Amino acid sequence: MTPARLDADDANTTYALFAIFDHAWSARVALRDGDHDGARAAIFALVLLEPSSSEKRVRARVEEARRKAVVELSEQFGALFRRAA
């Protein structure tokens, strides 16, 4: 997975949100399957994903979705390692 700089204007907001969902889903599947490197890569791609829209409303919506996904996945990743320890 490669991080993407998204054009998140009104026409592409759905695409930006789907890209966030896609990276988050990839990380969840990797965590479930024990692929820690794959999970890290997907979370890192999610962190680097950045909307390029200058419209504040669109940026805020995409950023909030991205932030929630990163926080949730980071907590899951941390819990996995706490259980393993």
Span 3-61, pLDDT tens digits: 555 444 555 666 777 778 888 888 888 888 888 888 888 888 877 777 666 667 777 87
pLDDT exceeds 60 at position 70: yes
- How much is the pLDDT for 79? 78
Identify the H or E element spanning 35. none
Q: Rg (Cα) of the chain, in Å, rounded?
A: 13
Contact status, residue 50 vs residue 6, Cβ threshold 8 Å = yes
Q: Give the mean pLDDT of 55-71.
A: 79
Domain count across the chain: 1
Q: Which one has a higher pLDDT value, 78 or 38?
A: 38
pLDDT of residue 53: 61
Range of the domain at 58: 5-84
Backbone angle region of 20, left / alpha / beta, with phi > 0 → left and psi within -120 to 50 → alpha: alpha
pTM above 0.75, yes or no: no
Name residue 45's amino acid: A
Residue 64 sits at the vertex; the CA angle it makes with 38 and 71, to the nearest 5 degrees, is 40
